[in-house]
Structure 1
């Protein structure tokens, strides 16, 4: 049986199509998703810049600088958010130590610390209302902190620590 060049070309074309399908379905799906997210972020950043004024030339370097400032602001706010969450975890540790200390003064301090934790969780939810949709991992941490704070308040009010 002879192999003709048409058969070789048909086989190559078929393999290329299979490789493309495997790329989208397999491990390269993550790469595809990252590309789409980056394109969406680029469109979002370009939409965030001021619309051009007719007849006025805009310096492209200025647009790049504005996009960098928007991105830096988003990073600062996320790092500020993470800092506040870490502070709340520190308060939870302090609360646990205060509960372990004997005496009524320790319980009063523990209750005021617990109120501070609840206020901190409320301020996180108020200051960053879209955290659950923007970053589900951070959103789940905030909801876990809220759950712990509410549970501890119920236990405290019930008299479990007296």
Structure 2
């Protein structure tokens, strides 16, 4: 099959038209989203009459305004307490590895999974820890690295 120049030109025109539809005045998606959010905030809620009967189905439909949601903040002392508990769990993990009973490795792995889940919940509960308190962020990162390293060593069979 031979490619003719008129076919190439038609394909280039199609691609140019497709690219034009993809671009939105050179603005990024985040900018467009922010503009729309500001427009919605600036508009007042319309005073439409309620549809009869819907309020009995869902009382939330009666709400006219939605209160702004504040980000949940975690107390720094509580955060440090959670970190200390996770280090205590790592110590329990080490004790389970050294125990001679038959369930030692099973209990150790469960404890290790608990530590990893705890680190994930810490990061989820306080996402701005890196900017607010870099020292605590480095401790959480080190804790995550230790837990991940132990999981790799455990899965590799170093403790069998």
When normalised by structure 1's length, the TM-score is 0.53
Partner residue in 2 for 1:110: 108
Distance 1:157 1:124 in 2: 24
Q: CA deviation at 1:104?
A: 3.2
Query: How big is the shift at 1:97?
Result: 0.7
Q: Give the 4+ runs in structure 1 shifted more than 6 A.
A: none
Q: Could you tell me how far apart the structure 2 residues matched to 1:148 and 1:102 are?
A: 23
Alignment deviations for residues 25-66 of structure 1 (CA, whole Å, 9 cap, x no partner)? xxxxxxxxxxxxxxxxxxxxxxxxxxxxxxxxxxxxxxxxxx
Aligned residue for 1:101?
99
Deviation string 1:116-156 (CA, Å, 9 cap, x unpaired) is 00000000000000101110100000000000000000000
Q: Deviation per CA, 1:1-42: give whole Å up to 9, x if none.
A: xxxxxxxxxxxxxxxxxxxxxxxxxxxxxxxxxxxxxxxxxx
Gaps of 5+ in 1: 1-72
Question: How many residue pairs get matched?
Answer: 89
In structure 2, the residue matched to 1:124 is 122
Q: 2:139 aligns with which of 134, 138, 141?
A: 141
SS of 1:104's equivalent in the other structure is: coil
- Mapped partners of 1:122, 1:100: distance in 2: 26
Structure with the largest fraction of helix? 1
| 2:120 maps to 1:90 | no
With CA pairs under 8 Å and 6+ residues apart, which has the higher RCO, 1 or 2? 2
Please give the TM-score of this superposition, normalised by the length of structure 2: 0.53
Q: What is the RMSD computed on CA atoms of the aligned residues?
A: 1.5
* Stretches of structure 2 lacking an aligned partner (at least 5 in a row): 1-71
